[in-house]
Amino acid sequence: MKRAFKFRFYPTDVQAAELSRTFGCVRLVYNKALAARSEAWTMRHERVDYNATSAMLTEWKKTEELAFLCEVSSVPLQQALRHLQGAFSNFWQKRAKYPRFKSKKKSRDSAEYTTSAFRYRDGRLMLAKMTEPLDIRWSRPLPEGRSPSTVTVSRDAAGRWFVSMLCDDPTIEQMPKLNTAVGIDAGITSLVTLSTGEKIANPRSERKDRERLAKAQRELARKAKGSKNREKARKKVARVHAKIADRRRDFLHKLTTRLVHENQVVVIEDLTVRNILKNRKLARAISDASWTELRTMLEYKCAWYGRDLITIDRWFPSSKLCGACGTIRDEMPLNIREWVCECGAVHDRDVNAALNILAAGLAVAACGDGVRPQRSTPGGRSSVKQEVVPPQRSRAAAQPRG
């Protein structure tokens, strides 16, 4: 099983300058190749593949204007073209939007090296075009006897340098089968509510540093654009954001690892976070909760350890549905946290939703397809029946979405 190990490192001035040049060249090559492919399709309806852009790169290096591309390692430049090819493949298969140009200010600085462009030996990593190994802070060892197949060097907005090593990890093994299953209802006050009745409080990572962030942003707004003081103030804002993100990521890792270790089946909702963020009153809290990152972690950890992750249809009325009699309420405002059904059952909104999510997920696992509510009871009363979703819709609901 391939696994990436990410470490922080501290480059020398010479290494930082070399990597900065490499980042700029990678961005330039990516943008020129994207422009060439877009122009070829717009003007001549011609598709340009990776081999053609690789030949273009060779010609660019021969020109006087772009001769500086020869000063950096050629491997990250070729990898940039491969990444562009992957972006177009995702676009053609309707998994992503059309590739966009990389911005110097907004895009992530990164460069990927393959085995021909680095040397790893005895815990020392040497990159191409460098005479000294990177000063890496080894927070954990790589798997014994394993060497990385690719190395990705990156720099975040706060100016921190990271190196990510992809290698085989034999320690990732399928865990023993369990008879437990859990439904997860994502929320804001409680980050997740489990079908067991447990509520895990939202750590509200952003709120803890909100005043500090606001102060840093006010200082940034006062600085003249293009000045060195503005760049210093921008890094202060970025450092606050980085601290918030690190705290949030640490909490989510611990939570998802626990859920995967304790349950054989994990059921979640297919939430469209992008659309939910259009609610201006809740957008900040929802962004801080980071539901998408929670789902992503559950996806790859379930794959690692042999667990089953089931995603139910986004239109399933988990909060409106009575888990006792199957009645669906017409409305369920967010301010209602407890409600009483016509059958007399008293429901905690979040726990009831988690139980319904679990039941729907187990139904999906049993029949191999999706389920959705069907309003068919006369007299305006609604009940839920197991109705198989049309194949095209069910496959979309079952697949993870970004």
Cβ within 8 Å of residue 353, ≥6 positions away: 185, 193, 318, 319
- Write down the pLDDT at residue 380: 39
pLDDT of residue 308: 93
d(CA 259, CA 263): 6
227 assigned to some structural domain: no
Task: Output the six-digit token pair for 257.
Answer: 């690892």
Q: Which residue, among 255, 390, 372, 368, has the nearest Cα to 310 in the 3D structure?
A: 368
CA distances from 356 to 150, 309, 327, 334 (A): 43, 16, 12, 17
**How long, in residues, is the chain?**
402
Same domain flag for 140 and 48: yes
Catalytic residue list contains 185: yes
- The structure tokens listed for 301 are 């950890």
232 part of a folded domain: no
Task: Give me the half-sphere count of Cα atoms (radius 13 Å) on the Cβ side of residue 13.
Answer: 0
Q: What is the pLDDT of residue 368?
A: 60
> 66 with 198, same domain?
no
What's the pLDDT at 319? 87
> Quick one: 64 and 159 in the same domain?
yes
Q: Which residues contact 124 (CB under 8 A, 6 or more apart)?
A: 133
SS3 content of the chain, % helix, strand, coil (to 5): 45, 20, 35
In 51-173, which ranges are E strands?
109-114, 118-121, 124-127, 136-137, 150-155, 161-168
- What number of H helices and E strands is found in the chain? 11, 16
Q: What is the pTM of this model?
A: 0.82
pLDDT of residue 333: 84
| 108 and 183 belong to one structural domain | no
Same domain, 105 and 186: no
Q: What confidence score (pLDDT) does residue 369 get? A: 54
Residue 89 in contact with residue 125, Cβ under 8 Å? no
Residues of the chain with pLDDT under 50: 370-402
- Predicted local confidence at residue 337, as pLDDT: 86
Catalytic residue among 185, 206, 270, 288: 185
Total domains in the fold of the chain:
2
Domain assignment of residue 101, given as a range: 2-168
Helix (H) or strand (E) holding 397: helix 391-398
pLDDT score of 375: 37
Catalytic residue among 18, 109, 112, 269: 269
Radius of gyration of the chain measured on its C-alpha atoms: 25
